[in-house]
Chain A
Amino acid sequence: MAGLPQLIEEDMRELDAAVDELLRFSEAGAALLIDKGGPLLSQRGAVDKFDATTVAALAAGAFSATDMMARHLGETSLSHIYQQGRQAGLLISNVDDNLLLVVVFPAETGAGAVKYYATAAVARIAAQMQKAAQRAPGAGLDLVSLNTLDLSAVFRKRE
């Protein structure tokens, strides 16, 4: 697993622009860009209506489980999973080896439109990620320059 490449501001601007365009054209409510391990990378739209951190972790788990199930059935190219509820729908799209795009949309919004615009957004995000990977393969950040606090007890028990 190569992991996420180093992303610069230009990358994040392009990723956010792709997601914003998806939200505008599809009339979906919110979208999350998440690492397949669970962490949330970017959130756009009406994300204050739900707990984005938890939804990201659950979406990563759901996609991984469905992907693994598909592999056991001989399918290796799972691109989306989709759930329709009474009030909201959810689309999780595979971006590349590292990222997933999660789109939350109102039930009255057409799932077909969301999927159509999500496919375009995924292509745009994947292209930018590839650009980032080629720009600085293996680059990281030197954390030595950061100012660490006392690491002996980051978590404190309530007295």
Chain B
Amino acid sequence: MAIINQASKELHLKIVYYGPGKGGKTTNLEQVHANLGSVQEKGKLISLATSSDRTLFFDFLPIEAMAIKGFKTKFQLYTVPGQVIYNTTRQLVLRGVDGLIFVADSQYEKMAENVESFQNLEDNLRALKLNLADIPYVMQYNKRDLASAAPVDYMEFLLNNRDVRVPSFTSVASKCEGVFESLNMITRMLLNKNINEGSRTAV
């Protein structure tokens, strides 16, 4: 749950990008880092990656924004490593998560990996005694520019067919299309949730 520090007038929110390997999670963060307007204070983009540029532990981008008058809102954007072998690491990064962006790969041949990754997300949240139904999340269908992209309706049927359908976005993260739209939507959902429910509070 979000942390509010009333003494320093700060609200901390942790957003995690989840999804299958090579789906575009790191690219999302790189695009946010490269294209963020000057109003927001962005920190350094930290990538703990292998020598072949695959995420090993996480990517991390801190951003400060003004969402509530008089309160500094400190966003921490994280990605998880998508590769199957790094499951323990994914669980660690999910600790303290406030909101999620699930980045799915639109290519037909990646559908099984998308579904598996989504199930893995639910399993990992359960291991942390969390329930996906209680955590705001959005779907991002990435790589829409590829010829082998599956129809959005099909992806919605596969990945977004629960009782409550969450907002979904098409994207071409490499061209920064759909990246800010997804981030702004999850931010809005998160702030509205915290406004309604209250948060962990540090003075």
Contact = CB atoms under 8 A, between A and B. Distances in A.
Interface in A51-71: 51, 53-54, 57-58, 60-61, 64-65, 68
B36 to A, nearest CB: 7
A39 B3 contact: yes
B3 A4 contact: yes
Q: Bin chain A's interface residue count.
A: 35 or more
Given A4-B3, A39-B14, A147-B69, A53 B43 contact: yes
B203 A12 contact: yes
B66 interface: yes
Contact of A54 (B5, B39, B62, B200): B62
A140 B69 CA distance: 19
A51 B58 CA distance: 18
Contacts of A7: 201-203
Nearest to B14: A37
Contacts of A151: 67, 187-188, 191-192
Contacts of B194: 143
Contacts of B92: 61, 64-65, 68
A39 B62 CA distance: 10
A139 interface: yes
A14 B26 CA distance: 40
A7 B3 CA distance: 11
A155 B65 CA distance: 8
A154 B3 contact: no
Contacts of B129: 1
A35 B73 CA distance: 16
A34 B62 CA distance: 15
B203 A157 contact: no
B67 A141 contact: no
Interface residues of B, number: 62
Contacts of A146: 68-71, 195
B31 to A, nearest CB: 9
Interface string A112-154: 0000000000000000000000000001111110111101111
A73 interface: no
A159 B78 CA distance: 25
B12 A141 contact: no
B62 A35 contact: no
B135 interface: no
Interface string B95-109: 111000000000000
B62 A57 contact: yes
B32 A155 contact: yes
Interface of B: 1, 3-7, 12, 14, 32, 35-40, 43-44, 46, 48, 57-58, 60, 62-63, 65-71, 73-74, 76, 78, 88-89, 92-93, 95-97, 128-129, 176, 180, 183-184, 187-188, 191-192, 194-203
Interface of A: 1, 3-9, 11-12, 35-41, 51, 53-54, 57-58, 60-61, 64-65, 68, 139-144, 146-149, 151-159
5 contacts: A12-B203, A53-B76, A57-B76, A146-B69, A148-B195
